[in-house]
């Protein structure tokens, strides 16, 4: 039966890494809410920090070598998979949710289905794989599980829309639709725009651009990276 304390062999098989030190995988699944109720427990936050850095490195290396495009497009390609929505989807496909150890309140609130918790857990698991198997093992995990979500060609990035991603993320979290507020400054021939995006009245992202659309996209991009 899956759940906290359950046998993690099948999960490790889906991840594609057989742990020498299985305690690393268990720690990667320990949410801070569970640790607050469990004396002596260590949360997955440090592993998440490490996994986030490893993910950034691996994806940057892969897109650099696989796509002959300008820096801006490389950044967009990276953002297409390094965001809470994409990583939460990977975590769900792996079946991480039932294994995440949550505090009673968080569990009752459906925490195992929250994109922010799922994506954080995925990064923590990646950090655990890195510590247990090294850079090659972690790189392979990213290549197997994350890179297949990358657009096949750079031209596909024309369809990549951070505003749509944010709207989907907000809906999955059971929150309201994003609302944008855009202001402009400068003369007509050289205007710049600043956008703020709110969800349920809370400012969750800001961004600038040479057009209203670009500013809104920039704000949505920031919001997707920090959405909770």
Asked if pLDDT for residue 7 goes beyond 80, the answer is no
- Find the mean pLDDT for residues 141-163: 74
pLDDT digits (tens, 9 = 90+) for 58-99: 999 999 998 888 888 888 888 888 888 889 989 999 999 999
Q: Whole-model pTM above 0.95?
A: no
Same domain membership, residue 124 and residue 13: yes
Selected residue with higher pLDDT from 104 and 157:
104
Same domain membership, residue 186 and residue 142: no
Selected residue with higher pLDDT from 144 and 70:
144
- Find the mean pLDDT for residues 155-165: 65
Q: Tell me, yes or no, if 52 is annotated catalytic.
A: yes
Print the SS3 string covering the chain. CCCCCCCCHHHHHHHCCCCCCHHHHHHHCECHHHHHCCCCCCCCHHHHHHHHHHHHHHHHHHHHHHCCCCHHHHHHHHHHHCCHHHHHHHHHHHCCHHHCECCHHHHHCCHHHCHHHHHHHHHHHHHHHHHHHCHHHHHHHHHHHCHHHCCCCHHHHHHCCHHHHHHHHHHHCCCCCCEEEEEEECCHHHCEEEEEEEECCEEEEEEEECCHHHHHHHHHHHHHHHCC
> Catalytic pick from 48, 52, 76, 106?
52
> Catalytic pick from 48, 120, 123, 132?
123
Same domain membership, residue 181 and residue 131: no
Q: Tell me, yes or no, if 123 is annotated catalytic.
A: yes
Same domain membership, residue 182 and residue 154: no
State the chain's mean pLDDT as an integer. 88
Asked if pLDDT for residue 11 goes beyond 60, the answer is yes
């Amino acid at each position: 039966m899956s759940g906290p304390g359950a046998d993690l062999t099948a999960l490790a098989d889906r991840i594609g890494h057989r742990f020498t030190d299985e305690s690393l995988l268990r720690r990667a699944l320990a949410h801070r809410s569970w640790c607050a109720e469990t004396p002596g427990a260590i949360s997955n936050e440090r592993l998440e920090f490490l996994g986030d850095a490893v993910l950034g490195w691996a994806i940057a290396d892969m897109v650099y070598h696989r796509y002959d495009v300008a820096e801006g497009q490389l950044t967009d390609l990276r953002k297409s998979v390094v965001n809470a929505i994409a990583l939460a989807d990977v975590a769900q496909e792996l079946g991480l949710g039932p294994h995440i150890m949550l505090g009673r309140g968080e569990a009752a609130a459906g925490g195992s289905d929250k994109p922010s918790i799922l994506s954080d857990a995925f990064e923590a698991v990646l950090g655990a794989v890195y510590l247990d198997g090294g850079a090659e093992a972690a790189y392979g995990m990213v290549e197997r599980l994350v890179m297949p979500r990358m657009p096949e060609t750079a031209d596909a990035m024309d369809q990549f829309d951070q505003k749509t991603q944010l709207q989907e993320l907000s809906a999955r979290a059971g929150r309201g639709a994003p609302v944008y507020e855009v202001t402009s400054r400068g003369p007509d021939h050289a205007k710049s725009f600043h956008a703020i995006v709110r969800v349920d009245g809370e400012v969750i992202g800001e961004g600038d651009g040479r057009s209203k659309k670009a500013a809104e996209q920039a704000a949505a991009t920031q919001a997707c990276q920090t959405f909770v």
